[in-house]
Structure 1
Amino acid sequence: MTSQRVTLITLGVDDMARACAFYEALGWSPHPSSQPSVTFYQMQGSVLGLFGRADLAKDQGRPSASLGTGAMTLAQNFETRAAVDAAWRRALDAGATALKAPEEVFWGGYSGYYADPDGHVWEIAHNPFWPLAEDGSLTLPDPA
């Protein structure tokens, strides 16, 4: 049986120090098992890893020029619109590139997009139809 889960998300970065400084400015803490060539951030039930883009391409057996960004979005959901706005300000202050400022969206929520210094796209959103648990985790509600 195949399980529906992602245990590790690895982002290819061009400058490890710059990428680590960005995520630390967002309030993320590197895991102690991080190394100079790879930085890990423990999330709820999964891990975010930062790995040099050229090293990641080599590990995948592809030329580094074929590793792009922006064809997917990582997302964080927040309890309130104010929390989305605060996350937006924090990301821009940390060096993110604004893609779309948070605004009301067609599906009834509130969201915006930014790119980290390596171009990885993040959505920050408040979805009133998807309540978050106390720990911030998300379990999709059953349809009514």
Structure 2
Amino acid sequence: MKPKVSVITLGVRNLETAYTFYAKALGWDPLVYVPDEVAFFQVGNGLVLSLFRGDHLAAEAGNIGHGPVAPPLTLGHNVDSPEEVDTVLNAAVAAGAELVAEGTAMSWGGYSGYFADPDGFLWEVCHNPGLSISDDGTVSLREIV
């Protein structure tokens, strides 16, 4: 199997709340929005974020849970500078996200912080000076010295 991710689906508790957060508060343009069902946003070169009703996802894929802690994954949003990390974190919080960790200089040479969306999904906002993405979507990673 060739490694490829083209859609990331988040099973959300309330689609309208999630849609409002991403489309209205953060200003993301939806590709498709079907009220009370699903919303799709292009979030990268060939990559789509899908917000799908959690109960509908459970009916298709099996039981999913929303426990007292966030699911054990993060979604990454890489930016060009530490200042931009703080700007994005502040915008997300102003849009209704919960600040989980303020922007911090990391031991590996980058700068990152975290917010949780209305369903508790964690987003890392990160400046990684060793990561670059070309116009064609090719990712380059180099060790930061």
TM-score, structure 1 normalization: 0.87
Distance 1:143 1:93, change over 3 A: closer
Distance 1:143 1:113 in 2: 22
Distance 1:53 1:98, change over 3 A: same
* Unaligned 5+ runs, structure 1: none
Q: How far did 1:138 drift?
A: 6.1
The question of whether the paired residues in 2 share the 8 Å contact of 1:130 and 1:141 is answered with yes
Distance 1:16 1:142 in 2: 38
* Unaligned 5+ runs, structure 2: none
Q: Give the CA RMSD over aligned residues.
A: 2.1
The question of whether the paired residues in 2 share the 8 Å contact of 1:130 and 1:138 is answered with no
Distance 1:52 1:39, change over 3 A: same
Distance 1:131 1:8 in 2: 21
1:94-141 C-alpha deviation (Å, 9 max, x unpaired): 111111001101111000011100010100000111134368x56123
Q: Which residue of 2 aligns with 1:14?
A: 13
- How do 1:51-62 residues align onto structure 2 when only pairs under 5 Å count? 51-62=52-63
Matched, 1:103 2:104: yes
1:53-83 C-alpha deviation (Å, 9 max, x unpaired): 1111111122x4x355420110010011111
Aligned length: 139
Q: Which residue of 2 aligns with 1:120?
A: 121
Spell out structure 1 runs of 4+ moving beyond 3 A. Answer: 66-69, 132-135, 141-144
TM-score, structure 2 normalization: 0.86
% of aligned pairs identical?
39
What secondary structure is seen at the aligned counterpart in 2 of 1:3? coil
The question of whether the paired residues in 2 share the 8 Å contact of 1:79 and 1:131 is answered with no
Distance 1:140 1:26, change over 3 A: same
